[in-house]
Structure 1
């Protein structure tokens, strides 16, 4: 069973978010790449969970 994913953790930079292990940033155990996977809040901001996909379809380019 997967662990519950934290919406806005206090210090997301201390953890790798690439799998369900949530390894410490300085002790990556899963081998899921060479670097730490960032939390969406680090990339998109604290309101990342309220974002939705744009429902309008893009016009085709010629």
Structure 2
């Protein structure tokens, strides 16, 4: 079973987010390249989980309010 993915970790720069092992960047065990995978909050900032494919899915499930 996969670990739940943290939405807003305290220090995302201390971990490689490339797999479920969440290794320190200087001891990556999965061999997922030579650099650590950044957390989405590092790439896209606050609210990264409010847009994209998941946001489109939520919009599809919301009822339309037509007069």
Range into which the TM-score falls when normalised by the shorter chain: 0.7 to 0.9
Structure 1 residue runs of 4 or more that deviate by more than 6 Å after TM superposition: none
TM-score (norm 2): 0.75
Unaligned ranges ≥5, structure 1: 56-62
Higher helix share: 2
Superposed CA RMSD in Å reads 1.3
How many residue pairs were aligned? 54
Between 1 and 2, higher relative CO (CA 8 Å, sep ≥ 6) is seen in 1
Unaligned ranges ≥5, structure 2: 57-67
TM-score (norm 1): 0.80
